[in-house]
Structure 1
């Protein structure tokens, strides 16, 4: 079968990896698991959005691909007091609602029809199923995969839609070059922007841009904290990096009025995370405070490490409001 079909079955089919409620933290490390300061930075971003919207009577906070709900719970619990009574937190996730989720957080399997506020898609787009195309001596071919073993072989010529996307966003140059056809991710992101009446949508993910696409693609699996071969049998997470520049263009076509495409390092530094170690003198005046500040600095440093989590892409797009100042300072596109 095609990789897109195989991924859909392995991740979201009956008994699939995410359908059965696997805990992401058991298989791979994300910013959410690395530090609570990630959610605190997003809570500050939520406050910026609320101000830009002039404090609406209902402020939506939507977490797409909420996993176990840790991110939206932390943002909800640390949100500014001025949002009390107005904040409408919604987790969008196919897995069952965990019992630990606070009652005010709605749990649903589909996007709300209309959103005014902040949408966060943290490592969601990389799990949208897609096809893989390889350039062979006979031209581009859609790769077929055996879902039980991961063995591959060249299949049919890609569809016109696939070829058009590849020509614009990921041209294949030499035999053996492979590409992951990203238009399903573009369509998924477009669906978010169409529902965003006013506010900000942020996608955070492994990513690449047109001038730096990897020649061999990025398809891989994760299980028990390790990268493993991408075998779409439901036993592991299947992921591929996201062409966020293509998603940005799709979002603009669906109503986005301002865009920023930057790195997590730049975005989080603009939101106040620095990773700066406390002065050693503090250890003599306040040993406990020094240890706490040192731990915080270490966690922040991991979140903004340019060779790790800090290298993730941040696509931020607004509808009806300007980009919040921190994201406007971090970078702009379109």
Structure 2
């Protein structure tokens, strides 16, 4: 997975953009960035309106979030925002000069970190349960053919026992330890502010028995052959990442859904009043389009079903998120679980 996505001829090293292969909240509507702009305003107020307000987008793609967020941000913030796109692909043509492009997050961040569909692309290993215990699944890069390899490392076995217990032979787990380490590294870089991870997710009590590893190419689901020809992704154990963020020093944590988070940030998906069609037909059509875009972002069976992990450093949760009922969290069952350095940032 590492070579297929980030190797010399890997999918993202070639400059592929997510929006060209699958639909994201960013490509669906600028209303997503408008909600994040409101969240940024709350972070700014909680931090006492610092002279420099970082907005870091990890796994930025073509920096769509930053472009839209800057357009929606309060003008009073404009002179203090430092927008930073973190991406392994080359800087796209036409990107505003104000947006810094870099391959890794800054070591010190004050403000807002957004990781929208990033963790699902942090490489991981897959294991399959056998009669003698879990074995790593090895894959031939050119064909996707599989075979069972050696047992996973003691650290990975510990993570599996804590976060993805396996049942009968044939069951599979996707070892999310590299994602936990990658997210912990984000929290460690956050001096003060808020970090938000948005992704396909599942919880410990309902892990999919055969995993979620999937390939995407040109808008279609394909076999996850690791030859660099497709995006390879797997859903995220956000609850495990939350625990890693807690250990890394997070001040407050919220696990929720995109539907609940965006509704708290002002998105409704409500249609404009019908009489507006007679008074101002153009405004009515704009309102209909906005309602449709927001409804897609809020759809519980689609983008609205994404998980949101919000963690802060040196501040409470922003007011819009603080009142949300959190998704239930199940703590790790092992006291020996430790994070290692992330494989990719």
| Superposition TM-score, scaled by structure 1 size | 0.97
- Paired residues of 1:303 and 1:310 also in contact (CA < 8 A): yes
Query: Residues of 2 paired with 1:240 and 1:188: CA distance?
Result: 15
Query: Residues of 1 paired with 2:78 and 2:291: CA distance?
Result: 29
Q: Secondary structure at 2:323's aligned position in 1?
A: helix
Query: Residues of 2 paired with 1:38 and 1:324: CA distance?
Result: 17
Aligned partner of 1:154 in structure 2 is 148
1:306 equivalent to 2:330? Answer: no
1:117 equivalent to 2:111? Answer: yes
Query: Residues of 1 paired with 2:145 and 2:41: CA distance?
Result: 48
Aligned partner of 1:289 in structure 2 is 283
Q: Secondary structure at 1:57's aligned position in 2?
A: coil
- Displacement of 1:24 after TM fit? 1.3
- Paired residues of 1:259 and 1:332 also in contact (CA < 8 A): no
Instruction: Note the residue ranges of structure 1 that are not aligned, 5 or more in a row.
Output: 1-6
Aligned partner of 2:203 in structure 1 is 209
- Paired residues of 2:55 and 2:113 also in contact (CA < 8 A): yes
Between 136-145 and 203-212, report the one with greater CA deviation.
136-145
- Paired residues of 1:143 and 1:154 also in contact (CA < 8 A): yes
Deviations 1:89-142 (A, max 9, x none): 111011111122111110000110100000000000000000001101222111
Query: Residues of 1 paired with 2:201 and 2:231: CA distance?
Result: 17
Aligned partner of 1:4 in structure 2 is none
Among candidates 82, 91, 111, match of residue 88 of structure 1: 82
1:245 equivalent to 2:277? Answer: no
Aligned partner of 2:340 in structure 1 is none
Q: Secondary structure at 2:181's aligned position in 1?
A: helix
1:272 equivalent to 2:266? Answer: yes
Aligned partner of 1:136 in structure 2 is 130
Among candidates 66, 69, 72, match of residue 75 of structure 1: 69
Between 281-290 and 113-122, report the one with greater CA deviation.
281-290
Query: Residues of 1 paired with 2:306 and 2:325: CA distance?
Result: 14
Aligned partner of 1:168 in structure 2 is 162
- Paired residues of 2:253 and 2:310 also in contact (CA < 8 A): yes
Query: Residues of 2 paired with 1:331 and 1:198: CA distance?
Result: 24
- Paired residues of 1:198 and 1:321 also in contact (CA < 8 A): yes
Q: Secondary structure at 1:208's aligned position in 2?
A: coil
1:98 equivalent to 2:96? Answer: no
| Superposition TM-score, scaled by structure 2 size | 0.94
Query: Residues of 1 paired with 2:237 and 2:179: CA distance?
Result: 8
Query: Residues of 2 paired with 1:315 and 1:119: CA distance?
Result: 11
Aligned partner of 1:38 in structure 2 is 32
1:184 equivalent to 2:178? Answer: yes
- Displacement of 1:332 after TM fit? 3.8
Q: Secondary structure at 1:277's aligned position in 2?
A: coil
Instruction: Note the residue ranges of structure 2 that are not aligned, 5 or more in a row.
Output: 330-345
Please identify runs of 4+ aligned residues in structure 1 that moved more than 4 A: none
Question: How many residue pairs get matched?
Answer: 328
Query: Residues of 2 paired with 1:128 and 1:211: CA distance?
Result: 22
- Paired residues of 2:196 and 2:310 also in contact (CA < 8 A): yes
